[in-house]
Every structure is written in structure tokens, then in C-alpha cells.
Structure 1
């Protein structure tokens, strides 16, 4: 019964005398011995051929010896030699493949190392895709910044002229005050006011300052949105965030890509603060908005909607574009799969978005019909599970 049990083990078991003659060898050990370079059909394989000289000495002294031993070209086995009787008359040798002797702690350690490497690779890929998206939008973002900077620059030129006119009027008043007969200078002041069109300046100057302030605020907002979008969240800190603010900042970045081919409609519902990594969700919203814009050939409508259902919230991007064929719907989240022309898309946007949603214990739902458009809904829990 014991022999039958040992015969089924994947580990090699050998019971032998001190001179190396074998009393018992299970099938797994026989298979290992036949793979050893010193094995021969007539002589077999002696114990001394498999183990270093100190193995028997240490087993005699301490009862056991164990180490890794070379067993053929490029192969290492875990060996454990045990003394079975006093005086070194019988020994039990166990030979095991390293893959069978790694304990749970070793497996957990290696699993943790792989998870760290995988997480680092995912973060690098996510950051690379973010920067690639910003690079793709660079011309549009530059245009969005140049527009307000342009009219602020123009307004500063007008402001310089207005200041010169106002200083000229102030000089006229000062001359009138220094004159022996100030009333005689009133006619000159009236002529100066009319010539410099001070009434128009007094009406236009507040509007000019308001426009300039709005332009600077728009540039500041775009730069802030870019900064929030491009940061990598290296601290991996989950925070309560306003999804509407994240969607609006993302729209602010991609708007130049959408404004000429789509009308944007917002249908926001009441949302609570959501526990999330907001910059990563902004990447999802950007990918969905850009895909919606690229799906529209000439002119269409992009609708951004949000809402809450129980303990979940959702954000949806719908377009009136070309739609996705049914046979492709099963593959749109596969890495490097794209329906766009060669050189237009990387095929990573939706794959990364799917991974981000899964990381948030959420999901992305898709509805699409060719010729009618597509609808992508990101569903997220309001609070992340404690485990």
C-alpha cells in the first residue's frame, strides 16, 4: 500500500544503502535518473553521482541534508537526504522540481512582484496614452489659448491709446487749474474731450477690461485643466471628486476638436461626490469624447449625460455618428483594435478606458447601430468597496 502511494508521487523517492545500492525507487525517480548525464542502462546511477561529497557527512551528523543540485544540463533539483538508521546504513533521498517545492509565501511574493511590475507597466502605458492624446490635441489647445491671448493683446493696444487720451485730458485740466482764469480754459477742455472721444472711452473701457479678464481666466482654466489631466496620480490616492467638474475640464481641452463638426448638449443630473482617481476618469471621458467626434463625418450632435441609480452613478457620451458594426462590438475593448484608418488611432483608448473603469469596480456599457450612432455609458460605484 505504501509503495502504491509512493508510485503516484510526482517527486522522486529513493531508498538506498550507504554503498549506493538501491532498495526502492519510485517511477518519478526513475524518470529523473534516466535524464541524468551519468546514467547508463547497465550501471544505473549511484547515490554519490547525484550528490556532493558533504551530503552523506552532513546527513550522518545532523540527520538530514538538503540543497539544490545540478541534474543535467541547465537543470536544478531540490534534494533532501535523510538518515534512516544509525550508523549510516540506510538513506532516503527525495528529489523535487523547484516548481513543486515553492511554498505559498514564495508564490505570494512572486505574485506580488508581478503585480507591482504590471501596475507600473499599466501606469506607464496610461501616462503615455495621456501624453499622446495631449500631443494629438496640441494644435487645438494652442488655438484655444491663442484666441484669448490674441484679443487680450489687442485690448492692451487699445488700452494704451485710451490711457494716452486720458492723460492728455488730465493735462488739460491741470492747465486749466493753473490758469489765472480757469473758466477761460473750459472751452479747450471741451474741445479736448470731443477730439479724444472721451465719452466713447468711458463706455468702452469697462467692457475692454472685462473681456481681457475673461481671456486671461480662460487661458488659466485651460492650463489648469491640462495640468490636472496630465498628472499621473502617483500617490494613488482615492478622493471624493465632482464628476461634472472633471467632464467640463475635459471638454474644455478637447473642444477645439469637436466644435467644427458637432453640437454639444449637456444633460447633467444630480450627482454626489464620487470616490475615484479623477485624472484617470478624465482620460476615459477624453477618449469617449474624441471617439464621438471622430465618428461624426460632417455635422452631428454629441450628448453628455449623467445620472444616479442606487449606489452607482453613470456618465454617458452619445453621438449621431456612423455607429459600430455588430461584429466589431465584441472587439472594441481589445488592445490595439481600432476601426479608424491606419495612422489615425492607436487602438489603446477604449482598452485603457475599460481597464480604468474596472479598476474603479465599474464598467462601460455600449449600444451602437450602424448609421444611427453610438452610446458609451461609464457606470461607477459612489464609494469603493472596502476590500
Structure 2
């Protein structure tokens, strides 16, 4: 019944989400259409701006080139004589003192100065060189789009203009003149009234280009050549093109919206059919899915139980493998003191046996000497070899000293075996469920003692212990972790090397570090070292559970296990446990 209710809820959710999806698609289509329209508008604006910039740039380049060509072509015959003639005219009374000295960065002339300069205009037009220059320029302008040409001196006074009414005007306020008089050409778009004031028409768009006129011999700027060209027709044509582009974009947008509407209607119809089909399939598959889920659940539970059992067996196998290697090495360590102790005891017994005849002979002599019968002949001492007895008794002190040395070696061997047994007893605390407060330095010392019996004699294990607070833990589990890390560190060293085990407190944590001088862990292996069943050892020599189990044990104790490595230098494993804050700390 519960499954049926869940199935109904799923079906209802599918209907809801299908409806929701249709609404979202409708909204997405609307947003897409709006964004597409905005994008088209942006693109049209960008195209219009680019076209306008290209048109203006083309006219600016043409004006600048025309001004250069005219100034070069007319320099010797018309421009140079004209500038020389106008230079003789005195217009200094119309300027401020600073401008009379040649300053070009002053503010434009005052209204009184402008009137003075305009009165100076007829004098300029009366020059013979003015008429010659005007005739040459008027012929050059016939049939071109150039609207006006003006020449300004270095003070900004208009020396020549195709519009004679402007001769004598002050042009020092023009940005283009200010830039050109400094030696740099400049162009700008301007809006001006129609040239023919008698006609009633709209203002015209012109591009004014200013080019410095320099003396070819001194390279000094003598005047500024200004060319104005009418770009109104080009801009009008550009505007008409933009209108056509916008209309085309609008038509395309309308077509896309209609196409999108048709697609949405078709999609809605398809969604309805799909929803009905899915509903029928869900009803049909419900019973089959229910049966499959039940069977799959049983299989999964069985596999989980088998996986847990296999993991426990492999973990136990890992531990038994380590214990087997440790026991074999410990047996070798115990066999050495046992062998020389047995040999020494045998030799002590042999020495005592060698001393026995002399002692017995000495005892007989002593017994007969103490007999009241009389002299040696009467007492029967004549049958003893006095020299032999003396020789045997002389060896007794040496034999006794040797026997004492051998028994001392036996005692040393027994002490070594006693130390080994104590460390084994400390290491093999089998009550895993029982916790106790321990000194990790003492625990590590036992583990290192056992590890030295297992690892190669070429590998040196160095202890660097600091005072640590006592930690409540399951000692046997931590022993397994420490032994695994030390064994791995020793196995990572090819030949001679050093494994350093250090302890310290860092803030509110206990830190245990196992560092080796091995070859390091490759970058492709490092991320997987804590994965269960992952091992780089040859097949059959490792289960790949050592580090995984070690990390699990450390985490169960509230700690962390991290690793850092450098290829060719070595690897460092670091364990940290929180320092207890209770009364036991």
C-alpha cells in the first residue's frame, strides 16, 4: 500500500513537473526572443556606429591628405609669398602682451580684439598674393566635396578663407588649430549653417581637418591649413542604410517569433502525448519494478554482509601477516641469546667437570693430612701425584673466573630475553574493547623495539620524543597503526636509510610523525594510498588494507592521519590526536 501511494505521488509529481517544465519553456522562449531582439538592436547600433566611424575616418584621412598635398603643391608659388606678405602686416595691437610674444596657449581673443582683427581683414584681402592664392585654391576646389579652406597664422588669425567674410577672424579657440599649431594634425566633426545664407535649409555636417604648415628649411610651424568637407550626404545615406538594417532585423524578429510560437505549440502537443505514454508505462512497470526491487534488496543485503565479513577477514589476515613476520623476527632475536646462553652453560659445566678431579684430590690430601696416623708414608700419601694435584688446583682460579664470565653472559642474554618478552607483552594487549590512559612515548618505544627486530639492519630507527600528556585510547589498535607506519617507512627505503619517529605537542593536539628517507610516493599513487585493497606491493605480498585500517583507527580515536612526500627525498606520515581537556588530562 505504501509503495502504491509512493507511486501515485511520483505520478503526480511527474504531471506537476511536466506542467512546470512547459511554463519554464514558455518563459525561456519569451526571454530568448527578448534577448534576441535586444541583441539585434545592439548589433545594429554597433554596425551603425562602425559605419559612421569608417565614413568619418575616410573623410578625415582624405582631408588630411588633401591639405598636405595642397600645402606642398602651393608652397613655393602661392603659400610662401602669401605668408611672407601677411607677416609684414602689424596686427600686434589687437593681441594681449603675452600673445605678442608668441604664446599659443592663451585664451581666445576678447570681443574687442576680435573686432580689431576683423578690421584687419580688408588689408589682408588687398594683398596681391591673396588674390593669387585664392585663384589657385578656387580652381582646385571645383568639382570636389570640399566646402571650405582656411589658413590661420601662428596666433590664430584667419589669414585666408574661401568665405571672404571670415578673413581676419580669431581662430585660436579652435581645438584643431591648437593641436596643429603644436605640430600635430587634427580632425573633428562639426555642425555648421548652410554656406548660402540666402537659402532656407538644414545645417550641414562638415569635417574640419587642421594640418600644420612648416617651413621646409627650418621645419618651423608658420601657419595652420584647415580643410572643411561636407559629409552630410554620406551621413544621410548611412542613416538610410541603418533604417533598412533595422527594418530587416524587425522582420526577422517577427518571423522568428512566429516560428518559435509554432514550435512551442508542437512541443506542448508532444509533451502531452509523452505524459500519457509515461503514465501508462509507469502503471505497467510498477509491479515488475516492485518485484525487482525486493529481490535486489535481498541481494544487496547479502552482498553487504559478505563484504563486511570479507573485510574483517582481510583485516585479520593483514594483522596476522604482520604478526607472523614479527613473530619470525622475534624468534630470531630470542634464538641468538638462547644459543649463546646454552653454549655458555655447557662450557661452564665442562669447566666445573674439569675442576672436579683436582678438588677431589685436594679433598683426599686434606683428609689424610688430618689423619693422626703420622707422616705421609704412613698415611698413604705416597700413592698420590702431588705435582698433578698442585697443577689441577692451580687451574681452578682460571676455570672459576671463566665460569663466572660465561654465567654473566648467560645473565645478559636472559635480561635481553626478558626485555623482549616485556615489550611483546606490552605490544600484544589483545583486549581491543578496553580503553586505558597511556603514555604514547612508552607505547611507541615498545613498537619501535619490536620493529627493529623485523626490519632490515641497514635501516636505522631514530626516536625523538617530547613529553606528552596521557591519552585514553585502545592501545592494541594504536600499536597496530604505529607498527604499520614504521614497517611501511622501512620498506620504502632501498638499502641504508633512517626512519625517524618523533612526538610533540602542537597547540591542543598531540602530534606523532613517522619520516623516512626513501624514494617518496609518485604523484599518481599518492591520492589512492588510503583506498581499501590498493597496494603497490607485488601480488600475494600485501592486501592493501594497512593504511586504510590505520586511518580508520586514527579517525575512531578523534584524530587525523595525513601524508606529505617529495620524490627522491622521502615521505612523512603525521598523526594528530586532540589533547584531553577533562580531569584526566
Same fold (TM over 0.5): yes
Query: What whole-Å deviation, never above 9, does each CA across 1:222-264 have from its counterpart, x for those lacking one?
Result: 3454455455434x11101232332222223332443422122
Q: Which has the larger radius of gyration?
A: 2
The Cα shift of 1:349 comes to 1.2
Partner in structure 2 of residue 154 of structure 1: 343
Residue deviations 1:182-229, cap 9 Å, x none? 9989976542232xx333333333332232223233334434544554
Identify the residue that residue 193 of structure 1 maps to in structure 2. Answer: 393
Tell me the distance in 2 between the aligned counterparts of 1:356 and 1:240.
17
- Is 1:309 the equivalent of 2:506? yes
Residues paired across the two proteins, number? 300
Say whether the 8 Å CA contact 2:514–2:573 is kept in structure 1: yes
Structure 1 partner of 2:402: 204
Give the match for residue 567 of structure 2: 370
Query: Which moves more between the two structures, 372-381 or 162-171?
Result: 162-171
The equivalent residue for 1:346 is 543
1:257–1:293 CA contact under 8 A, matched in 2: no
Q: 2:495 aligns with which of 282, 287, 298?
A: 298
Q: Which has the higher strand share?
A: 1
Match of 2:484 in 1: 287
TM-score by length of 1: 0.64
Contact 1:321 1:373 in 2 (8 A): yes
Partner secondary structure for residue 332 of structure 2: helix
Aligned equivalent of 1:18 = none
Correspondence for 1:175: 364
Between the aligned partners of 1:207 and 1:307, the Cα distance in structure 2 is 43
- Residue 148 of structure 1 and its aligned partner are, at CA, apart by 1.2
1:270 to 462, 467, 473: 467
Runs of 5+ consecutive residues of structure 2 not aligned to the other structure: 1-5, 13-278, 295-303
Distance in 2 (CA, whole Å) between partners of 1:189 and 1:307 is 68
Q: Distance in 2 between matches of 1:118 and 1:330?
A: 23
Are residues 1:218 and 2:407 paired?
no
Q: Does 2:530 align with 1:330?
A: no
Deviations 1:96-140 (A, max 9, x none): x9xxxxxxxxxxxxxxxxx99999876654433211112234442
Question: What is the TM-score with the length of structure 2 in the denominator?
Answer: 0.44
Kept in 2, the 8 Å contact 1:323–1:374? The answer is yes
Deviates more, 1:286-295 or 1:123-132: 123-132
- Once the 2 structures are TM-superposed, how far is the Cα of residue 162 of structure 1 from its aligned partner? 2.7
CA distance in 1, matches of 2:291, 2:538: 49
Give the structure, 1 or 2, with the largest relative contact order (CA under 8 Å, sep 6 or more).
1
Is the partner of 1:315 in helix, strand or coil? Answer: strand
In 2, distance between residues paired with 1:229 and 1:117?
31
Cα distance in 2, alignment partners of residues 385 and 125 from structure 1: 37
Q: Which residue of 2 aligns with 1:132?
A: 321
User: Unmatched 5+ residue regions in structure 1?
Assistant: 1-5, 13-28, 37-70, 78-96, 98-114
Given that 2:517 and 2:570 are in contact with CA atoms closer than 8 Å, whether structure 1 keeps it comes out as: yes
Q: CA deviation at 1:273?
A: 2.3
Q: Cα 1:72–1:330, aligned 2, differ >3 Å: closer, same or farther? A: closer
Tell me, in whole angstroms, the C-alpha distance in 2 between the residues paired with 1:160 and 1:136. 36
Partners of 1:213 and 1:260 in 2: CA distance: 25
